Amino acid sequence: MFNQIKDLAGGEIYLITSLLMFMVFFVIVGIYLFKLSKRHIETMSALPIQENQTKAYEED
């Protein structure tokens, strides 16, 4: 198995492609997080804590 890793004749394109896909994914996620509104982040971070608020479907 290690001999296959050492001998990359013709397999470089797969390594480069996977590295580029990995980096592009994390760049896109980073851009998304920077563009996310602070109000939405605060609302989502407080969701598990807000147990005392009744939801519309819980009203009887």
Task: Convert the pLDDT of each residue in 1-56 to its tens digit.
Answer: 556 556 666 677 788 888 899 999 999 999 999 998 889 888 888 887 656 665 55
Query: Domain limits at 34?
Result: 18-46
**Best CA proximity match to 7, nearest among 19, 15, 21, 20:** 15
The phi and psi torsions of 56 (rounded to 5 degrees) equal: -60, -35
Q: Does residue 55 form part of some domain?
A: no
- Total domain count for the chain? 1
Q: Does residue 58 form part of some domain?
A: no
* CA atoms within 13 A of residue 39's CA, in its CB half-sphere: 0
Quote the Cα angle for 51-57-60, to 5°: 95
Q: Does residue 7 form part of some domain?
A: no
Instruction: Tell if the pTM clears 0.85, that is, is over it.
Output: no
Instruction: Answer yes or no: are the C-beta atoms of 8 and 15 closer than 8 Å.
Output: yes
Q: Does residue 35 form part of some domain?
A: yes
The confidence score (pLDDT) of residue 24 equals: 97
Separation CA 13–CA 43 (nearest Å)? 43
